[in-house]
A and B are shown apart, each in its own frame.
Chain A
Amino acid sequence: MTVEVIAGGTLTTLQDLGRFGFAAQGFGSSGACDKHAMRLANALLGNALATAVLECTLLGSTLRFSEASLVAVAGGMPTITLNDEPVSAYRPIPVQAGDVLHIGLIANGLRSYVAFSGGINTPLFMGSRATDLRTGIGGLHGRALTAHDLLPIKSDARSLRRFLHTLPDKLTILDKMDCFHWMAHTLGPFRYIGAQKTALVRCVLGPQAAYFTQKGLDTFANSLYEVTVDSNRMACKLRGAKIEAVSGFDIISDGIMEGSVQVSAEGQPLVMLADHQTTGGYAKIATIISVDIPTLAQLRPGDAVAFRYVSSQEALLAIREENAMLCKIKELMSR
């Protein structure tokens, strides 16, 4: 089965959970910025959670299907239409041969994920289908989607028929399990601090927390930071109260990971996202816990964010809980 790209959108790339095992050669992992939404979109179709999806940014793609299929959209809330009729995110969407799916402007959040029943079937590149825009490898020709691109989809007509046959029952069970409530909840990473709409993001102390004064650590944990316009898939760059270091921000370069919070020479935090470099020379004050990285990945320039230190125990519990829920949905949908 093939999906034809009619319009690519602002920045739509193929992503999965990322490319691991090549950091020593200087290759970052890439992968979806919001791995929660990416896995949820797959779970809704009964796909393996790690299956490759499309990551749309701000304005999504327009796609035409060569055969009947099934898709699901999760993440930032776009307007979605199928042949110009509105359809819902967070539900499996059946499509027919010739149908046109349009992922419109993302109104709430920044990135939406489109999963296809069976999954996108481009060749694996160094063990992954993720697009690495920095190096121009992986995905579809190492670049964002444009009009006339063709996406191969691994589809199976028989399992598709079975899925559609049992879909009403599955949706009823999802509803009874309170899954839709859980999904909706993950949509709103915002809290109000006074009148200020703010994302609250949890973190643990970073490997170079000792490079900062107590005042610096407090500043980071107690201030509001604003997402700047030069944020991208590499980093969420923030602006706000200056963080104080004991004596400079430079370290002997070491490995960085998704969620690492580096503090620049100007005392401003930068949170590493999926396309980050493998190593860096700035001290790292914190690491965002895995389950809260998606929240940051959904922030738009101008949005406010606050940080809160938690124990790694809390981080661990949160990741186990999220994983269990995603697996439960996936199991139910693939039954």
Chain B
Amino acid sequence: MHPITPSYTPVAESALLLSLGDTIDESVNRQLMHLWQKTLQANIKGILEITPAFTTMLIQFDPILTDCQTITKRIQKLCRSLQDVESIGKTVDIPVCYGGRYGEDLSYVCMHTGLSQQEVISLHSKPSYLIYMIGFLPAFPYLGGMDERLFTPRLQNPRVRIPAGSVGIGGEQTGIYPVESPGGWQLIGRTPLMLFDPQTPEKSLYQAGDRIRFVPIDAAEYQRLSQENVEVQT
């Protein structure tokens, strides 16, 4: 593997932005996630927060304890010791009940793409999607790798309320709404899994760098799994 040479931009007296370029690409993101984990493990003095994204990480620090130069030097050292890795994350299976009342827009997606429901479900549940980053809301994954035959424009009028667990398509992207929120994506299914539990929000099923696979389930299985959620809670 070629040694990576990030660029470093000061953002404030208390932050810098490390960048590996401006291409959304699996191998670039993998290098970034690897570097992110190495940086966390290195426990560099004064770092308060790291926000990894597609190709960048924002590093916030306490300017009383450290500065841009010191942190940059430490990370340069980490870059030299980066090993080539195939994948750094795990793959998480997300059961999804497609269509019907769980995915009201599945028929619209079929109409737009000219595919049958079975074809949409099979194309959508085939890849293992890379989580490039998590942002916008807690546990909201930005996924890459959707089959281009599924590309469907967003709704003209966004919905005010999308139920938690909804799986949707928005343009070239697919994703899950971990909590109830407004949104403009075409809803094709829903997972019964609780992706965000306000009681234990820090326990996430997945993180940036992991992969997600959607596993089709039927309505009976959806009901059974939701029931389990309730039992775990009480």
Is there an interface contact between A277 and B136, defined as CB atoms closer than 8 Å?
yes
Distance (Å) between the CB of B199 and the closest chain A CB?
9
Binds A, one of B10-18, B72-80, B95-103, B112-120: B10-18
Q: Given A252-B55, A254-B56, does the pair A25, B134 have CB atoms closer than 8 Å?
A: yes
Residues of A with C-beta under 8 A to B207 = 24-25
* A207 CA to B51 CA, complexed, in Å: 14
> In the complex, are the beta carbons of B142 and A257 less than 8 A apart?
no
Contact A278 B13 (CB under 8 A): no
Residue of B nearest to A317 (CB): B13
User: Which positions in B face A, CB cutoff 8 Å?
Assistant: 9-15, 17, 22, 24, 36, 48-58, 60, 63-64, 133-140, 142, 179, 198, 201-202, 204, 207-208
- Are B15 and A287 touching (Cβ within 8 A)? yes
The stretch of A71-79, A92-100, A134-142, A155-163 in contact with B is A134-142
A278 and B51 in contact (CB under 8 A), knowing A26-B139, A207-B9, A253-B135?
yes
Interface size on A, residues (CB 8 A): 39
Distance from B137 Cβ to chain A, minimum over Cβ atoms (Å): 6
B57 contacts which chain A residues (CB < 8 A)?
A: 255
Cα distance, A315 to B13, chains bound together (Å): 6
Interface residues of A (CB under 8 A from B): 20-27, 29, 126, 135-137, 142, 204, 206-207, 252-257, 259-260, 277-279, 284, 287-290, 312, 315-316, 319-320, 323
Given A254-B53, A255-B58: A207 in contact with B139 (beta carbons within 8 A): no
Question: In the assembled complex, how far is the CB of residue B48 from the closest CB belonging to chain A, in whole angstroms?
Answer: 5
Whose C-beta in chain A lies nearest to the C-beta of B138?
Answer: A26
Which of B12, B57, B137, B140: most chain A Cβ within 10 A? Answer: B12
Q: Which residues of A have CB within 8 Å of B64?
A: 319-320, 323
Whole-angstrom distance between the alpha carbons of A238 and B138 in the complex? 27
* CB-based nearest A residue for B139: A26
Q: Are B136 and A279 in contact (CB under 8 A)?
A: yes
Which residues of B have CB within 8 Å of A27?
Answer: 138, 201
Q: Are B53 and A257 in contact (CB under 8 A)?
A: no
What 10 A-B pairs are tightest by C-beta distance, nearest first?
A: A255-B58, A255-B51, A279-B135, A315-B13, A287-B12, A26-B138, A23-B51, A254-B53, A254-B56, A207-B17
Residues of B within 8 A of A278 (CB): 51, 134-136
Assess the B15–A252 pair: CB atoms within 8 A. no
Give the CA-CA distance A284 to B53 in the complex, in Å: 15
Known: A20-B49, A319-B63. A290 touches B134 (CB 8 A): no
